[in-house]
Amino acid sequence: MSTAEETVGGENGPWAEVTPDAARRLLIAAVEAFAERGYHATTTRDIAGRAGMSPAALYIHYKTKEELLHRISRIGHERALHILRTAARREGTASERLADAVSSFVGWHAGGRTTARVVQYELDSLGPDARAEIVALRRQCDAEVRGIIEDGIAAGEFDVLDVRGTTLAVLSLCIDVARWFSTRGPWTPDEVGALYADLVLRMVGAAKQAPAPVDQT
């Protein structure tokens, strides 16, 4: 199994929707090549070779290299949005929902670091139309996190002076995990997710639960 398959969660990760099998193999090969060499340094021949196919076979499924990047980015951002939206709309306090959003989002970036690096750091390689579509998905991700923070402020759980700036900081922390996380390091994706959830709650000044009263009898 390839790195791109291993690191996006089993069950073919987010690529199960990509059919036929040859198109999925090419997409996974492109993820690995873009993550390793960067979009501009990768050729269609590189991608086809990693997939065990001829360069001509690639054009049967994708018209251009950019089309491959666009599809990878769209699927990845749709997955990211699903993670954040699920956490934002669950039952619970704002603190619980923010912790869930951060731990899940960080876990995805750590466990799917190969894919996440491409999804999050190759945006400027897309053309104007494709880039605009992905930017719109990013704004929706931003809105989900901002909504949780606003709920926490309204409920008296969070002490935040700049909601927009804090939202940007939270998302930036989560995304950066894809850049440095390694399976050879001391933490699992779940452990990093839990650590970052705690850090973010401290960042927003999440109200501490009052200690239980001491029994004086």
d(CA 154, CA 178): 32
Q: How confident is the model at residue 16 (pLDDT cuts 50, 70, 90)?
A: confident
Q: Please name the residues in contact with 193: beta carbons below 8 A apart, sequence gap of 6 or more.
A: 102, 103, 104, 105, 106, 107, 110
| Rounded distance between C-alpha atoms, residue 26 and residue 78, angstroms | 20
Does the structure show a pLDDT above 80 at 5? no
Please report, in angstroms and rounded to a whole number, the separation of the first and last CA atoms in the chain.
63
Per-residue confidence (pLDDT) for residue 17, from 0 to 100: 87
Tokens linked to 32: 């690995």
Average pLDDT over residues 23-32: 96
Determine what percent of the chain is predicted with pLDDT higher than 70: 88
Query: Phi-psi bin for 9: left (phi > 0), alpha (psi -120 to 50), beta?
Result: left
pLDDT tens for 144-153 read 999 999 999 9
| Contact indicator for 110, 175 with CB cutoff of 8 Å | no
pLDDT category at 204 given cuts 50, 70, 90 is: very high
Mean pLDDT for the chain?
90
> For 140-182, how does the pLDDT look when each residue is reduced to its tens digit (9 = 90+)?
999 999 999 999 999 999 999 999 999 999 999 999 999 999 9
Residue 192 has pLDDT above 60, yes or no: yes
Name the pLDDT band for 6 (thresholds 50, 70, 90).
very low
Say whether pLDDT at 194 is over 90. yes
Closest-CA residue to 81 (of 136, 41, 26): 136
Q: Looking at this protein, which amino acid is placed at residue 21?
A: D
The DSSP line for 120-176 is HH-GGGS-HHHHHHHHHHHHHHHHHHHHHHHHHHHTT----S-HHHHHHHHHHHHHH
- Of 49, 42, 46, give the one whose Cα is nearest residue 66: 42
What kind and span of H or E run contains 6?
helix 3-6
pTM of the model: 0.87
Between 111 and 5, residue with greater pLDDT: 111
Which tens digits make up the pLDDT trace of 105-141?
999 999 999 999 999 999 999 999 999 999 999 999 9
